[in-house]
Amino acid sequence: MKLRLALIAAALASFAGCTSPKAPTSSCDTAIVKAGFSCTDTEVLRAATLLRAMTLEEKVQQMSGPAYNPNNMFDQEDNTRLAIPGYRFMDGPRGVRWYNSDYGTTVFPVAAARGSSWNVELERRIGKAMADEMRYMGRHVLLAPTINQVMHPRWGRAQETYGEDAYLLGEMGQAFVLGAQYDPTVADPLDPTQVVDATAYRIQACAKHLAANNIEDTRIYVNAVLDERTLREVYLPHFKKVSKAGVSCVMASYNRVNSSYSGYSKAIVRDILKTEWGYHGWVVSDWFAKGTTLTSPVAGLDIEMPFSSGAFPTIFDSAYFYGTALSSGVQNGTVDVGLVDEAVLRILYAKVHFGVIDKWDKTKNWSPWLTKSDATQALALEAAREGIVLLKNGATAALTDDVLPLSAATQKVVAVVGKFANSENMGDKGSSDAKVVDSSLVITPYEGIAERLGATNPSVSACAGATPCALAFESVAGHEAALATADVIVVVGAYYPADLARSSTGEEGEWKDRVSMSLPQRDLDNINAAIALRGQNPNLKIVVVMKSGGAIVVNPWIADVDAVVMAWFAGMKEGTALGEILFGDISPSGKVVQSFPAEETDLPPFQNATTGDVSYDYYHGYRWLDRQSKAARWPFGFGLSYTTFAYSNLVVASPTIPESGTLSVTVDITNTGTRIGSEVVQLYVGYPNTALADSWGRPKKELKAFARVADLAPGAKATVILTVKASDLGYWNTATKQAVVEHAAHALWVGPSSDTNDPNTQKGTFTVQ
């Protein structure tokens, strides 16, 4: 924890030491003061000198995409006169997406899976790995992380983000940003394998999409209506955290927020992000998003992408608004040139600071070996192992009932069934469609299981049960005879990824919300058919592996299957990790980052049909379920292991703290089972004594800290220290327009999930005074 804080402090210090603005002097232009930058920072002064040398057209070029080019939506023009490269963007966040090439990159598990590892250090290393791939490709700005909340699990882009909770989103997003923006010219004490390269430039991350971008079907129109408390406490804290961590770029979302499109929302971009939070990076529009020449510069939108003129896709229903329109606006006096100067200063400062100007080499071309990097593939596997969640194992929680792990000695014939049992499905095929080209590097569930069983290329006739054997079918129907021989049927229930063409077959992804929270019908048919087969074969075990970016409702089949695993979309090595987990080479340790309700009706309705107003409730996810006194089927933060842990000795080191103080608690975790295992310890705070007059009150509990205890041996005990700053416990007072920390006794729970009734959950109190 201390090391993490030190890293954050170092990153903050290295990012624009921008203290109190000074009045303009000869070297301290108005633009510097307006941007809140320091007039003594040499990089800022260098950016200002470049700015002064620019013509209006050159400034506007920095703020715009090029003319329409059907083959490239990610490259700005270069300024050759002043040797200032245009930005080369590329998408994330499950890997670096090269959308127009024959080559691929490493495909990591989607962020929903990586969030489920609750491993910030792993996420930082993934950020670093993507930064390296970006550099090999000669790109500058990685369009990741996505840190929008999963307001509702049917959201098509739930897979791209770290779940429903603002605190977790902020922690994981920050870790990714610090990794992606790492400085390759210095050694990393946490990563001895890192190559130090004095000539390398730094990658810039881009946190997206600010703000309240939580619905896909209507994403370019919908108006998210949020009152101030909901915005400040629920939808903005994670953006604030990554902005304070020094993220260089923030992307404004497509949707409207309180009636204003984000691309021209002064309230969100200029007033909150730039002014109130003191953000020193720059803001880019989402691709083809709405904006206007007059209002977007006022709002603080620094760059419009992807183009400045030419064809405009009708599907986006808008028009380009920077480029020549912006130059004309300045020339005819409708746009203040000071706004242009401030935007360009921000852009140039980042280009100086991250080495785009001095270190980037345009002539360097990336090579196709990227997907073959053993190190990044190993990292993708590590993330899959930690992000896959075991949700059910046997009829009860008792270990004697456990079905998993399987054993090749007793369960010889394993059939893997489903549309995606043995075909590539790594998630969304929209902007996050990172892919490998050498498909042999992608391990499907069937391949991973077959490999673990030692049964490659089996045929149905070879599968007689004498030696271990794996089979793959798209459906149970039609294969009943072969399946009658199976000891285990693994049904892979997976959503079909949507593409940007909005193809009718796509079921989940960008621009495509899920139509329901259950598995697709073809998967339900397979589950039911497998259950029916048990009539002939009572010893048949049924394991369901679910693939989606969002929580799934498992009624009514849950009672009739033996085990359930949430794989999310666990990347190119998903199958390998699944095989290892199902056969017990490793103990599962992931914990879900969304609440899994018993029924969809337990959640507020998902309003993804209207292009008009959608009122955002203050409550969603576990906060909503608590409010309704509804138990989740699997609560936020829940996940099973093959071992057991006991929580004991909760000690509140600081039972009374001032508002400026820090709560510090310790708890002991003992591995009481027989296998090595990792545990995610979670701390929640509640406000039973709130004096808030607001009719909503405060949430029953909120996640405020967590720690991952890795590889605890049987019998071993670890003491975990968790800290929470009292200043992070405030609610937003709409009258005074600031956070208020209540001076009262608060409740505290430390346990294995958000379920405060879990027998392992330790309870305590502390007082802020």
Chain residues in the site for ligand BGC (CB under 6 A): 91, 143, 208, 286-287, 431
User: Measured from the CB atom, is 60 or 305 closer to ligand BGC?
Assistant: 305
The structure tokens listed for 36 are 């809140």
Three-class secondary structure of residue 463 per DSSP = coil
Between residues 431 and 589, which has the closer beta carbon with respect to ligand BGC?
A: 431
CB of 132 to ligand BGC, least distance (A): 20
Q: In terms of DSSP H, where are the helices of 187-251?
A: 228-230, 237-244
CA distance 427 to 500: 13
Nearer residue to ligand BGC within complex by CB, 126 or 490: 126
**366 vs 511, beta carbon nearer ligand BGC:** 511
CA 738 – CA 494 distance, rounded (Å) = 44
Q: Is 148 or 327 the residue whose CB approaches ligand BGC more closely? A: 148
Half-sphere exposure of 221 (CA within 13 A, CB side): 12
Strand partners, 88: 75
- Decide whether 205 or 370 has the Cβ nearer to ligand BGC: 205
Q: CB 287 → ligand BGC: shortest distance, Å?
A: 4
Single out the residue of 55, 108, 73 nearest to residue 572, CA to CA. Answer: 108
Cβ proximity to ligand BGC: between 93 and 115 the closer is 93
CA distance 66 to 74: 9
Question: Within 10 Å of residue 474's Cβ, how many Cβ atoms?
Answer: 17
Min dist CB 110 to ligand BGC, Å, is 13
Q: Which is nearer to ligand BGC, 446 or 569 (CB)?
A: 569
- Note whether 542 and 534 are within 8 A (CB): yes
Taking the C-alpha atoms of residue 435 and residue 427, their distance in angstroms, rounded to an integer, is: 10
Could you tell me the smallest distance in angstroms from the CB atom of residue 567 to ligand BGC? Answer: 23
Extract the runs of DSSP E, i.e. beta strands, from 485-631: 488-494, 541-547, 563-566, 613-615
Considering the complex, what minimum distance in angstroms separates the CB of residue 612 from ligand BGC? 21
Nearer to ligand BGC, 287 or 618 (CB): 287
Q: Please, which residues bridge with residue 748 across strands?
A: 685, 764
Whether omega before 306 lies within 30 degrees of 0, making that bond cis, reads: yes
Q: What's the min distance (Å) between Cβ of 415 and ligand BGC? A: 38
Six token digits for residue 657: 């703290």
Residue (93 or 153) nearer to ligand BGC, CB: 93
Residues 6+ apart with CB under 8 A from 535: none
Least distance (Å) between residue 761 CB and ligand BGC: 37
Cβ–Cβ under 8 Å, residues 78 and 358: no
Minimum CB distance to ligand BGC, residue 91 (Å): 5
Q: Specify the residue, 91 or 507, whose C-beta has the smaller distance to ligand BGC.
A: 91
Instruction: Count Cβ atoms within 10 A of the Cβ of residue 133 and give its class: 0-12 exposed, 13-18 middle, 19 or more buried.
Output: buried
Minimum gap (Å) between residue 94 Cβ and ligand BGC? 12
Q: Which residues make Cβ contacts (< 8 Å) with residue 311, sequence separation at least 6?
A: 68, 70
Edge-to-edge strands, sheet with 260-261: 260-261, 256-257, 223-225, 613-615
Is 38 in a helix, a strand, or coil?
coil
489: which strand partners? 415, 542
Contacts of 46 (CB under 8 A, 6+ apart): 352
Please report how close the Cβ of residue 286 comes to ligand BGC at its closest, in angstroms.
5
Closest residue to ligand BGC in the complex (CB): 431
Quick one: which of 32, 25, 491 has its CA closest to 280? 32
Bridge pairing between strands 260-261 and 256-257: antiparallel
Distance CA 439, CA 424 (A): 8
For ligand BGC, which is the closer residue by CB, 510 or 702? 510
Distance CA 360, CA 91 (A): 19
Angle of helix 574-582 relative to helix 374-387, nearest 10 degrees? Answer: 50
Angle between helices 166-180 and 2-14 (to 10 degrees): 60
User: How many Cα neighbours within 13 Å face the side chain of 306?
Assistant: 18
Of 91 and 382, CB closest to ligand BGC: 91
Closer residue to ligand BGC in complex, CB, 252/389: 252
Contacting residues for 603 by C-beta, under 8 A, at least 6 apart: 152, 153, 597, 620, 624, 625
Comparing CB distances to ligand BGC, the nearer of 434 and 748 is: 434
Least distance from ligand BGC to the Cβ atom of residue 248, Å: 15
Beta carbon of residue 511, minimum distance to ligand BGC (angstroms, whole number): 8
Contact (CB, 8 A) for 306 and 289: no
Q: Tell me the residue length of the chain.
A: 769
Q: Least Å distance between CB 340 and ligand BGC? A: 24
CB of 432 to ligand BGC, least distance (A): 7
Which residue number, 286 or 600, has a Cβ lying nearer to ligand BGC?
A: 286
**311, two tokens:** 């064809």
Q: Please, what is the minimum distance in Å from the beta carbon of residue 254 to ligand BGC? A: 6
Amino acid at 546: M
Q: Report in angstroms how near the CB of residue 216 gets to ligand BGC at its nearest.
A: 9
Shortest Cβ 396–ligand BGC spacing (Å): 43
Q: Which residue number, 16 or 142, has a Cβ lying nearer to ligand BGC?
A: 142
- If the CB atoms of residues 93 and 448 are measured against ligand BGC, the closer one turns out to be 93
Any residues with CB less than 8 A from the CB of 159 and at least 6 apart, and which?
94, 110, 111, 112, 427, 428, 432, 508, 509, 548, 549, 550, 568, 569
Query: Minimum CB separation from ligand BGC for residue 502, in Å?
Result: 12
